[in-house]
Structure 1
């Protein structure tokens, strides 16, 4: 018995027992081969945001098909302004986020959300012009629409058609 607790053979037996235990654990532990992205309902966050701000809130009328809403929050922006964030995993599993606030000045808010202050063009979405911004080093595309009472930003690593799809889904919610 003493030869299994000392020297090379003892080391080899201990190593074999540990590897066998690890292999057994991996064999009996359930494993999922499917991607799982947590789906988070943002309806209460949007309702709470609507009660906290003095303007009508924008939100998707319906989530784009195949998209998974996976994050949402209300945060304080500059000068105490409220900021609503709704995040998604797109059909192509890229990131897209809708952000809105009445933070002043609107151009600074949009630049902070886009990580860029350089416009690269405009795009018509539902008959309304949205400013395009692109930050190459972060692969971040952004659509910005500045309204009199609120600034809307759709941003992320998603491609332009996916961001436009999210922007097209936005509708003003009734105040109440």
Structure 2
């Protein structure tokens, strides 16, 4: 018995026993190869936001195929304005965040959400012009739309096409 507890053979046996136990654990432990992104319903957050602001709220009219809504919250912006944040994992598994507020000045709000104050062009979506912004170091693309009563911002690592797809499904929700 003593030869298994000392020297090289003892070390080899202990190592074999440990590797065997680890292998057995890996063999019987459940494993999932599927991606799991938690899906969070944003409808109640949008409704609550609509009750607290003096304008018609914008929200997606439907969920896009293979997109996962994964975050939502209402926050306080500058000057006490409320800000709605809706986050999504896109079909290409990039990140997209939709943000809206009546915060003033509107340009300051858009700059903060886009992490940029420089327009790099525009994009037409459903007859509406959206201002494009791009921040190279973060690979962050942003679409901004300034309306009389609210500023809409769609931002994230998603490409311009996915940002446009999301902008196309936005619609005003009836007050109520």
Question: TM-score range with shorter-chain normalisation?
Answer: over 0.9
Q: In structure 2, what is the Cα distance between the partners aligned to 1:53 and 1:10?
A: 72
What is residue 94 of structure 1 aligned with on the other side?
94
Counterparts of residues 22-171 of structure 1 (less than 5 Å): 22-171=22-171
C-alpha displacement at 1:132, in angstroms? Answer: 0.5
Q: In structure 1, what is the Cα distance between the partners aligned to 2:72 and 2:88?
A: 9
Mean Cα deviation higher: 114-123 or 64-73: 64-73
* Structure 2, unpaired ranges of 5+: none
Query: What is the number of equivalent residue pairs in this alignment?
Result: 176
* Structure 1, unpaired ranges of 5+: none
Q: Give the secondary-structure state (helix, strand or coil) at the position aligned to 1:132.
A: strand
Q: In structure 2, what is the Cα distance between the partners aligned to 1:77 and 1:13?
A: 63
Q: In structure 2, what is the Cα distance between the partners aligned to 1:7 and 1:41?
A: 61
Does 1:13 pair with 2:16? no
TM-score by length of 1: 0.96
Q: Give the secondary-structure state (helix, strand or coil) at the position aligned to 2:116.
A: coil
Q: Give the secondary-structure state (helix, strand or coil) at the position aligned to 1:62.
A: coil
Q: Give the secondary-structure state (helix, strand or coil) at the position aligned to 1:38.
A: coil
Q: In structure 1, what is the Cα distance between the partners aligned to 2:135 and 2:37?
A: 26
What is residue 172 of structure 2 aligned with on the other side?
172
RMSD of the TM alignment (CA)? 1.1
TM-score by length of 2: 0.96
C-alpha displacement at 1:35, in angstroms? Answer: 1.4
